[in-house]
C-alpha cells in the first residue's frame, strides 16, 4: 500500500537540484568534441541539440545527442520516481514533474555553458515519456504527424508542445499537464526565431536542401 503525504523539503531539493544537473549535461558538445568534430556552437544555428549536430554531417553523433538529451530528462524522472516509490500517485507525480521540469531547465540553461543551452525538444519528449508514457506517445505522434504533413520540423515540435497539456488533462493527469504546459511555454520562447520565419514563410522544409542539391547536380 502506498503511503499518503507531502514531499519533504529534502526530497523537493534533491528532485530539483538533481534534475537540473542531469539536464545541464551538454551531450551535443561532449560527443562532438570526443569525436574530434568540433563544437556545435560554432556551426549552423549555434545550438547544442541534435538538429544542429546533424549539420556537422555526422548522423551517428546526432543520434547519440538525441538519445542523450531525451534520456537525461527520462533519467531525472526515473530517479524521482524511485525516490518516492512508497508515496501516493499524486506525490509521485509532483516529484517526477519537479525533477523533469528541472532537467528541462538544465538543458535550456546549463550551468556548464554559461546558461546558454538548447531548445529542449528532445528533453521535452524524454521527460514526458518517462513521466506519463501515454502523454509522451501522444505528443510524439503529434510531432510525427505534423512534421510529415507540413514538412516543417519546428512546426511539428510547436504543435506537439501545444497539444501535450491537453492530452494530459484528457487522461486525468493534471500535474503532468502543468509540467507539459511549463515546458511548452519555454519551447515557444526558445523557438521565437523559428516562429518569426514561419510567419514570413521562410522556415526551411524537411528535405528541401537535399532536393535543391539534387536539382543542381
Q: Where are the domains of the chain?
A: 9-216
The pTM (predicted TM-score) of the whole model is: 0.91
Give me the pLDDT at residue 209, please. 56
Query: Rounded to whole angstroms, how far apart are CA atoms 64 and 54?
Result: 10
Q: What is the mean pLDDT of each run of 10 residues along the chain (217 residues)?
A: 71 95 97 94 90 91 97 98 90 96 98 95 98 98 94 94 98 97 98 95 75 35
Give me the pLDDT at residue 3, please. 56
Amino acid at each position: 500500500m502506498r503511503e499518503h503525504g507531502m514531499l519533504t523539503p529534502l526530497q523537493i531539493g534533491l528532485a530539483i537540484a538533481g534534475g537540473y544537473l542531469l539536464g545541464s549535461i551538454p551531450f551535443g558538445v561532449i560527443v562532438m568534441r570526443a569525436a574530434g568534430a568540433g563544437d556545435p556552437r560554432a556551426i549552423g544555428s549555434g545550438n547544442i541539440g541534435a538538429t544542429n549536430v546533424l549539420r556537422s554531417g555526422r548522423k551517428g553523433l546526432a543520434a547519440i545527442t538525441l538519445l542523450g538529451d531525451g534520456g537525461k530528462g527520462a533519467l531525472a524522472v526515473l530517479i524521482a520516481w524511485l525516490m518516492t516509490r512508497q508515496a501516493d500517485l499524486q506525490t509521485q507525480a509532483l516529484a517526477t514533474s519537479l525533477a523533469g521540469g528541472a532537467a528541462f531547465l538544465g538543458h535550456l540553461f546549463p550551468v556548464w555553458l554559461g546558461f546558454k543551452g538548447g531548445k529542449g525538444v528532445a528533453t521535452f519528449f524524454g521527460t514526458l515519456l518517462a513521466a506519463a508514457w501515454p502523454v509522451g506517445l501522444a505528443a510524439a505522434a503529434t510531432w510525427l504527424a505534423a512534421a510529415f504533413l507540413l514538412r516543417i520540423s519546428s512546426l511539428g515540435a510547436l504543435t506537439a508542445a501545444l497539444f501535450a497539456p491537453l492530452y494530459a488533462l484528457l487522461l486525468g493527469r493534471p500535474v503532468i499537464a502543468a509540467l507539459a504546459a511549463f515546458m511548452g511555454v519555454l519551447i515557444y520562447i526558445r523557438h521565437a526565431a523559428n516562429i518569426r520565419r514561419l510567419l514570413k514563410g521562410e522556415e526551411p522544409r524537411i528535405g528541401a536542401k537535399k532536393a535543391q542539391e539534387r536539382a543542381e547536380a
